[in-house]
């Protein structure tokens, strides 16, 4: 719970911002509502998964995986 309090706002802000930008850029490039929504979801989902992969495997740091873990939890709830 303390990690959620520490990183929750930043993770939620990052998630909302990247998904909004993914939607807007998708809408601008493809001009199709369904594809823009799909791009938005993909941007949000891939960020968390990629960050966890990098922190756990490449950097081998459990401490650095706290932020991506909180991000992933908030992303799935949202």
The more confidently predicted of residues 7 and 40 is: 40
Asked whether the beta carbons of 40 and 23 are under 8 A apart, the reply is yes
Is the pLDDT confidence value at 78 over 70?
Answer: no
Q: Where are the alpha helices (DSSP H) in 1-78?
A: 2-30, 33-53, 66-77
Beta carbons within 8 Å of 78's beta carbon, 6+ residues apart? 12, 15, 16
pLDDT digits (tens, 9 = 90+) for 18-74: 889 999 999 999 988 999 999 988 887 777 778 888 999 999 988 888 888 888 877
| Domain ranges across the chain | 2-77
Locate tokens 């802000």: which residue?
13
pLDDT of residue 57: 92
Residue 13 and residue 19: Cα distance in Å, rounded?
Answer: 10
Measure the N-to-C terminal CA separation of the chain; round to a whole number of Å.
Answer: 18
């Amino acid at each position: 719970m303390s990690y959620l309090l520490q990183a929750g706002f930043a993770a939620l802000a990052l998630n909302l911002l990247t998904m909004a930008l993914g939607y807007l850029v998708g809408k601008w490039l493809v001009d199709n509502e369904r594809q823009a929504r799909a791009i938005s979801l993909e941007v949000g989902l891939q960020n968390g998964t990629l960050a966890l992969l990098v922190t756990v495997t490449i950097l081998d740091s459990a401490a650095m995986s706290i932020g991506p873990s909180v991000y992933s939890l908030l992303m799935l709830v949202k």
